[in-house]
Chains A and B, each alone.
Chain A
Amino acid sequence: MSTSTAPRTASGDVAIRDRADVLRQVKTVVVLAIAALLVLLFALSVDDPKIYWTLEERARLDTRRTLNAHVVAWSAFGYLVVALVLAALNRIRRGWVAGLVFFGAGLAFYAGFLMWFFADQRELAGIGAISIVNPLPQTVLYATPLVLGALAGTLCERAGVVNIAIEGQFLMGAFFASVASSLAYSAEAGLLGGALAGVAVASLLACFAIKFHINQIVLGVVLIALCLGLTNFLLGQIPTARENPVLASYLNQPVTLDPIRIPVLADIPVLGPALFNQSLLAYLMYASVALVTWLLFQTRWGLRVRAVGEHPKAVDTVGINVARRRWSAVLLGGVFAGLGGAFFTVGSTGAFDQNPSNGQGFIALAAVIMGRWHPIGATAAATFFGFMLATRDQLSVLTKIDSELLSAAPYLATVIAVAGFVGRVRPPAASGEPYLKS
């Protein structure tokens, strides 16, 4: 039960090892051993090691290159074995070194898996074998709404208000982004509409949570139900293009955002097209991550917001208005969540269809907790989800793995991550508690 960490010396080494620390090491060794074993199996099962790959988003016959699957898979296996031995001897220093080693282990496993997956294909006439492509542009695309939603969740929870209703904010944001974009015939206006809708839901959340002291988890669920019903209802009121083409085009035929290519940066290999050839929304997302991190940790407002989320009474005692800080954080969160919702209409497919976000708000919520209520952590967790979704898309071209297993994989990975590695995380102390001035 004990979660206390072992005392550490200045260099970061564990001086005295307690049970939790040993347990952590055992866990690491077991995970690395499983990964190494799987990669070994992958490497052994490759018969025809010729794999086509390209750094671009789409493979073309003239630009694709080949690699030897055996070489890659065995070097991945080698790396994992080295990491395993180091972990078994407890020689991996905690901190960023360990982070780097484990990131490398994840990468090695991914590489080994890809080698197995894409090897031994039969060449298809005209198309050739299917190639490995750069998954990162897709990752950033999928991650955009998740990161924005996770930022909203982080902001709210840091201020002490649990925001389950990210999904609801997504839905309303998506709907009103579509309407605003159609009315104004401009995608940017759609973003504005989405953000405003997000703020509207946030103000409901703030009003009921801060003013009326309702259990915030309950409130979030109810708000999602309300937003789902309301967007479906409103969608039903918009005539289809066949019934009334004029009205339909004014209400639900939005202009979508085009990708904007940033001249020099987009030419960086691998990362360039992923990060700098995206729509305006993605750039807003990058800016939001920086903005939220800066606001929370570098400004007076952020310090107070965090204090309100940890110990509202202390904050109140020194004369700071608790409710006002919470309101401002929740409303600001609404802007991000609404922008995230706009992704589902003006940011991607265009017209609003029933329940376009389809539970992504919940994934953003999971990212908040996996990221331990830190904007950077939440962004990393959301990006991981985006990566899983992009991988799912990429792997669906071959039928080596059941498509059902593929689509369930991101959620399975979350359960494993939350149960195995995140475990007992500590939320902001006053998260979910209304502040009653006595």
Chain B
Amino acid sequence: MSEAAATVQEEEKQERSARLRDDIVTTMLAIVAALLIGAVLIAFSYERSLDSLSYVFSYPQDFFRHSGDAIWTSYEAMVKGSVGSISALSETLERAAPLICAGLGVALAFRAGLFNIGAQGQMIVAALAAGYVGWTWDLPVGLHLLVSIGAAVVVGGCYGGFVGALKARTGAHEVITTIMLNYIALLGILAFALLHPAFQRPGQTEPLSDRVADSAAYPVIGDLHLGILVALLAAALTWWILDRSTLGFQLKAVGSNPEAARTAGMSVPMAYTSAMVLAGVFSGLAATMLVNGDRFAISSTLFGTIGFDAITVALLGRGKPLGTVLAGLLFGALQVGGRAMEATSVGTSPDLAQVLQALIVLFVAAPALIAALTRRRRREPPPAFAAPSTQEEAA
């Protein structure tokens, strides 16, 4: 009996490691494929290689030499600019920290079967809360930071939880409500707050907030603020919630089959609400990385596409905490490196970083495509990307 159990365990372990190896190989291949397409884009956007295209039939080597130069310069700048030096590395870590946190929020909701597109809105309201505490209240060092983070987490959690409660009570589709709440946060709440004396920087006519006080900032080592450590702690917490707690078990059960979970006595509305509260909490934490960590002033452009990037981070991380951390680091590096590419003589647009991000996720999501390209065996998408019915059939 125990021997059989041991064999089963052994088999499970082997299967797990095989899947892990597969995941790693697929991700690597996806990155390579994305970089190849990126290389084509670089080559065709470089003026000199385009010029040489006009006589490509008489001197093809010119085109290839210029293109090669452009690709090499751009990618070299990207690597050097993101991990090549201590300051570059700390910049990458600082950019990765909010991506990881917001990505964790998306991943957690994803495991409960909810698609949280609302990280952007949750971050906006949370940033306002953290900022307000950060620049108006006067508290001792340390406590001030904690209270500021706490405010962000509570407000973010409420904003996220509202979506979950709506979904649980009225069945309103969370994709729509999160999108709409993003706009309400950006066009309504943020625009209003930034012109309100409580938030607007004194003596400023532009919609721009103050920066948080020194006592409410994350501790700094060298150039690096310690947001990344908080992000790692958040990842560990997510792992604990998902893999070790009753709540996580319920979330996953509801995520994979709400009917079965209900039959087993779990409360589906409760699971939806708590998943979205947690998602909002992590988004709120992500907001503190920008407000208390980088100490940026809040403006309507501060958040960029970070809520959207968080989704791709969570997807690339396959909805798992460790994966999300790695994906966040990769995307942070891509974004920092993208800016470095622009500074070279080739002047490749930093928007290439976003194209690369999307391509990577696209290729990871479609292992069948990679398999077709590399003639590896054909497979279905990994669980995190599988469409609902394939998941049910596998179960």
Query: Inside 8 A of B354's CB, which chain A residues have their CB?
Result: 225, 228-229, 232-233
- Alpha-carbon distance between A83 and B311 when the two chains are bound, in angstroms: 46
Stretch at the interface among B6-14, B86-94, B228-236, B355-363: B355-363
User: Is B390 in contact with A213, judged by CB distance below 8 angstroms?
Assistant: yes
Neighbour of A419 across the interface among B41, B172, B308, B380, CB < 8 A: B172
Instruction: Scan A427-438; emit 1 where CB is below 8 A from any B CB, else 0.
Output: 000001110100
In the assembled complex, the Cα of A222 lies from the Cα of B362 at a distance in Å of 6
- Give 1 or 0 for each of B378-391: 1 = CB within 8 Å of chain A CB: 00110011111110
Q: Are A233 and B351 in contact (CB under 8 A)?
A: yes
In the complex where A214-B381, A218-B365, A236-B349 touch, is A411 in contact with B308 (Cβ < 8 A)?
no
Q: Which residues of B contact A423 (CB under 8 A)?
A: 170-172
Report the minimum CB–CB distance from B344 to chain A (whole Å). 14
B interface, size bucket = 35 or more
B322 within 8 A of A: no
Is A359 on the interface with B (CB-CB < 8 A)?
yes
| Contacts beyond the supplied A215-B381, A407-B191, A415-B184: 9 A-B pairs with Cβ under 8 Å | A225-B312, A226-B359, A365-B179, A366-B179, A403-B191, A404-B192, A415-B166, A418-B172, A419-B177
Report whether A408 and B184 are in contact in the complex, using a CB–CB cutoff of 8 Å.
Answer: yes
Which residues, 399 to 416 on A, are CB-close (under 8 Å) to B?
402-405, 407-408, 411-412, 414-415
* Cα–Cα distance between A217 and B113 once the two chains are bound (Å): 12
**In whole angstroms, how far apart are the Cα atoms of A258 and B191 in the complex?**
34
A221–B311 alpha-carbon span in the complex (Å):
8
CA distance A26 to B353 in the complex (A): 53
A432 touching B312 by the CB < 8 A rule? no
Q: Does B368 contact A (CB under 8 A)?
A: yes
Assembly CA distance A208 to B370 (angstroms)? 12
A229 lies within 8 A of B180 (CB): no
Question: B176 at the A/B interface (Cβ < 8 Å)?
Answer: yes
Task: Tell me if A362 and B179 are in contact (CB < 8 A).
Answer: yes
| Chain A proximity of B104: nearest CB distance (Å) | 17
Q: Given A222-B362, A232-B351 in contact, is the A366-B180 Cβ separation under 8 Å?
A: yes
The answer to whether B366 has its CB under 8 Å from any CB of chain A is yes
- B274 to chain A: closest CB distance in Å? 19
* 16 pairs, CB–CB < 8 Å, chain A vs chain B: A212-B369, A215-B384, A215-B386, A217-B115, A218-B315, A223-B362, A228-B308, A232-B354, A233-B352, A359-B183, A365-B179, A403-B191, A404-B192, A411-B188, A415-B166, A425-B171
A219 adjacent to chain B (CB < 8 Å): yes
B358 in complex: contacting residue of A213, A229, A414, CB < 8 Å: A229
Q: Name A229's closest neighbour in chain B (CB-CB).
A: B354
CB distance from B32 to the nearest CB of A (A): 17
B206 at the interface (CB under 8 A from A): no
Chain A residues lying within 8 Å of B393, measured Cβ to Cβ, are: 436
With both beta carbons as reference points, the residue of chain A lying nearest to B367 in the complex is identified as: A212
A92 contacts B by Cβ under 8 Å: no
A4: Cβ under 8 A from any B Cβ: no
Q: CB distance B362 to A208 under 8 Å?
A: yes
- Chain B 165-189 residues near chain A, CB threshold 8 A: 166, 169-173, 175-177, 179-184, 187-189
Return chain A residues, CB-CB under 8 Å to B299: none
B-contacting residues of A (Cβ < 8 Å)?
164, 208-209, 211-219, 221-226, 228-230, 232-233, 236-237, 359, 362, 365-366, 369, 402-405, 407-408, 411-412, 414-415, 418-420, 422-425, 432-434, 436
B29 at the A interface (CB under 8 A) = no
- Pick the 8 closest A-B CB pairs, nearest first: A408-B188, A229-B354, A424-B171, A226-B358, A236-B349, A232-B351, A229-B355, A404-B192
The distance in angstroms between the C-alpha atoms of A66 and B144, with both chains bound, is 59
B117 at interface by CB-CB < 8 Å: yes
Q: Does B45 interact with chain A (Cβ within 8 Å)?
A: yes
Q: Nearest residue in B to A402 (C-beta to C-beta)? A: B192
Contacts of B183 in A (CB 8 A): 359, 408, 411
Q: Report the bound CA distance from A408 to B115 in whole Å.
A: 22
Closest approach, in angstroms, between the C-beta of A418 and any C-beta of chain B? 5
Contacts of A408 in B (CB 8 A): 183-184, 187-189
Assembly CA distance A221 to B119 (angstroms): 13
A418 touches B387 (CB 8 A): no
Check B366 against A214 for contact (C-beta < 8 Å).
yes
Is residue B246 contacting chain A, with contact meaning CB distance below 8 A? Answer: no
Q: Collect the chain B residues with CB atoms within 8 Å of residue A436's CB.
A: 389-390, 393
Report chain A residues within 8 Å CB of B172: 415, 418-419, 422-423
A225 near B358: Cβ-Cβ < 8 Å: yes
- B window 307-327: CB within 8 A of A: 308-309, 311-312, 315
Given known contacts A228-B305, A412-B188, A212 and B368 CB-to-CB distance under 8 angstroms:
yes
B359–A164 CB distance below 8 A? no
Q: Which residue of B lies closest to A164 (CB)?
A: B175
Return the chain A residue nearest B352 by Cβ. A233
Pairwise interchain contact B187-A407, C-beta atoms closer than 8 A: yes
- In the assembled complex, the Cα of A365 lies from the Cα of B180 at a distance in Å of 11
